[in-house]
Amino acid sequence: MAKRKPVTFTAKTGGDYDLMAASLATSDDQFKAGKIVKGTVLAVRGNEILVDIGYKAEGIISASEFKDVGEVKVGDQYDVLLVDMERPDGMVELSKAKADEKLRWEALLQKYTEGCTLNGVVTGRVRGGLIVNVDGIEAFLPGSQLDVDPVHDVEPFINQTLEFKLIKISHERRNLILSRRELLEDRMADQKRDLLASIQIGQHRTGRVKNITDFGAFIDLSGLDGLLHITDMSWGRVKHPSEVVKVGQELEVVILDVDLNRERVSLGLKQIQQNPWDGVEGRYPVGSRIRGKVVNLVPYGAFVEIEPGIEGLVHVSEFSWTKRIARASDILSVGDEVDVVVLSINSIEQKIALGIRQTEANPWDTVQDRYPVGSRVKGKVRNFTSYGAFLEIEDGIDGMIHVSDMSWTRKINHPSEMIQKGQEIEAVVLEVDPANQRISLGLKQGSEDPWHSIASRYSIGQLVKGKVSKIASFGAFIELADGVDGLVHISQISKDRVEKVKDALKIGQEVEARIVRIDRDERRIGLSIRAVDMDESEIEALSKELSQVELKPGENLVGLAAAFDDAFAQSEEWQPGEKKSE
């Protein structure tokens, strides 16, 4: 089509000229790059569409801007954007797409403002976020603004129509910045205020498990998070909250406490159910025998679950009638099923005392029948104390032999002087105390007391032989026949002065001595080695001297040593049998 001829004007004066000049000025303002004008299709020529825009030259639109160029007809009218007013070919470059975009943007600005709420379709993902179509305009949604909680998989959101908050309008880039997170947080804050205004202790609410920690779980109550503590999850024992609840799980909970100032709510799950401790005395009367499962072990005992939510403690002292249990773990393991007997119940403090040994007969109830006083028993030496030895006479039943009941003739300071651990020995039952679980045994009572016949075997002045059995600072003990010991004081070892007993005598050494004193009541025999060569009169005098020294009942052989000191503490020239100087 031919190019339109330029319009020429003849100079005129007056009103007609002014009107024409104003019209041309208005026309020039309308046809500027960036303006949108109405255009009428004149022709479709291959890849271009010729459009009349009422300007001195026609305009050209690329056919690629139309979805189906075959639908474009001569006479169709479109809004077009003036891109370039003077192409090299004299035509005007037009764009229908840019006109549509600008019109949409201007319409959008008329419709929305920053801070308003709008709907959009998530069309895809880009680096740092998502693209959202809002009324034909692509808006940007940062990844951090998609939800209140971090979202690791955005695929479920693609092609979804969602509600957003318009947080920024970029006029230069014709772009919108959206946030779904701020919208949700605003609504949650509103819900939180409404919930705090209406929530009351004792109410039942439905919530979703939002997060799980070691001490409990946080439950989302539609805008307000409440804490469900681990102790309020179940009437039974809970090691970790994950045993009871899962993230995302819907729960019915009860409101236990509300702190309006700190906006904190405490929740309970177990309170939805009946407390199993109600009526526990009727279900498990004292003395009843039941079966339970070990759920926890502590140094002092074991906790046994007898029904969900009900646990009782078996103290280590209630494990066995006869054995001393140091730790519960030595006998039981978590998960073991055991028979127990109810010993006591305190439903207020929610405590039940249980016993395992009560499921069997107490062997101490019949111990007097099995081991009457005077009977002989055999057993193995199990343990020593400073005052005696424990003899195991049956599994779990020990008897004690006191050091004073180990020998008729000698003073025993420690049981190892007579017996050894693990040794099999025979003893006599002296006393049985079932209430205190004690049996007293005697070792010496298994043989005749040699002191009963001491008068027929020993006399003052008698010459005897024996072995040194013990050495002390004050003298030496000599073992005579039948295990009877006599004491040789240091002053009676030799005619010469003896500074130390161990320098003159040795353990096991055989010696010969004379009996210079016999005290049957105190079971003591005084010996003198230096008196071996004395005649009868000298021995009689020495014995008389010793008999005048009083030994109080209950004194030990050291008392006899003192007697010797008193009797023999003369001048070094004095000899037994000599008269003392007045």
Please give the pLDDT value at position 12. 42
Q: Give the CATH number of the domain where residue 133 resides.
A: 2.40.50.140
- Looking at the 3D structure of the chain, how many domains does it have? 6
Domain final position from 244, 272, 300? 272
**Average confidence (pLDDT) over 170-185:** 84
Please give the pLDDT value at position 547. 62
Q: How confident is the model at residue 4 (pLDDT cuts 50, 70, 90)?
A: very low
> Does residue 530 share a domain with residue 475?
yes
In a domain? residue 506: yes
> Does residue 465 share a domain with residue 564?
yes
Proportion of the chain above pLDDT 90, given as a percent: 26
> Does residue 466 share a domain with residue 561?
yes
> Does residue 371 share a domain with residue 354?
no
> Does residue 563 share a domain with residue 466?
yes
Query: pLDDT tens, 36-78?
Result: 888 898 888 888 888 888 888 888 888 888 888 878 888 888 8
Instruction: For residues 528 and 462, give the distance between their C-alpha atoms in angstroms, rounded to a whole number.
Output: 11
> Does residue 351 share a domain with residue 367?
no
> Does residue 321 share a domain with residue 231?
no
Please give the pLDDT value at position 571. 30
Judge whether 304 and 343 are in contact, CB under 8 Å.
no
The DSSP symbol for 523 reads: T
In a domain? residue 282: no
Q: Which two tokens stand for residue 216?
A: 């409990």
**Average confidence (pLDDT) over 108-123:** 87
Please give the pLDDT value at position 337. 94
> Does residue 434 share a domain with residue 418?
yes
Residue 102 belongs to what H/E stretch?
helix 96-111
Domain final position from 320, 337, 359? 359
The residue segments making up the domain with residue 224 are 199-272
In a domain? residue 573: no
Closest CA to 185 of 153, 125, 225, 130: 225
What DSSP string describes 120-173?
EEEEEEETTEEEEEETTEEEEEEGGGS-SS--S--GGGTT-EEEEEEEEEETTT
Query: pLDDT tens, 467-484?
Result: 998 898 889 998 887 778
Please give the pLDDT value at position 302. 94
Statement: residue 534 has pLDDT above 50: yes
In a domain? residue 119: yes
> Does residue 546 share a domain with residue 469?
yes
Query: What's the mean pLDDT when you consider all of the chain?
Result: 82
Instruction: For residues 207 and 223, give the distance between their C-alpha atoms in angstroms, rounded to a whole number.
Output: 10
Q: How confident is the model at residue 103 (pLDDT cuts 50, 70, 90)?
A: confident
In a domain? residue 516: yes
Alpha helices (runs of H) in 251-349, residue ranges in sequence order: 280-283
Q: Which two tokens stand for residue 80?
A: 């077009």
Residue 551's identity, in one-letter code, is L
> Does residue 140 share a domain with residue 85?
no
Please give the pLDDT value at position 525. 86
Statement: residue 3 has pLDDT above 70: no
Q: Which two tokens stand for residue 59?
A: 């305009």
Q: Find the radius of gyration of the CA atoms of the chain.
A: 57
What are the backbone dihedrals phi and psi of residue 456, each rounded to the nearest 5 degrees, phi first? Answer: -85, -10
The separation between the first and the last C-alpha atoms of the chain, rounded to the nearest angstrom, is 176
> Does residue 440 share a domain with residue 370?
yes
Statement: residue 11 has pLDDT above 60: no
Please give the pLDDT value at position 325. 86
Please give the pLDDT value at position 581. 38
> Does residue 556 share a domain with residue 484?
yes
Query: pLDDT tens, 332-355?
Result: 999 999 999 999 999 888 899 999
Judge whether 144 and 136 are in contact, CB under 8 Å.
no
Q: Collapsing DSSP states into helix, strand and coil, what is residue 450?
A: helix
In a domain? residue 581: no
**Which of 180-194, 341-355, 390-404, 556-570 has the weakest average pLDDT?**
556-570
Query: pLDDT tens, 283-298?
Result: 999 999 999 999 999 9
Domain final position from 208, 240, 272? 272
Query: Burial, 307: exposed, middle or buried (Cβ in 10 Å; 0-12, 13-18, 19+)?
Result: middle
Q: Which two tokens stand for residue 265?
A: 């709510």
Statement: residue 200 has pLDDT above 90: no
In a domain? residue 432: yes
In a domain? residue 341: yes
Q: How confident is the model at residue 28 (pLDDT cuts 50, 70, 90)?
A: low
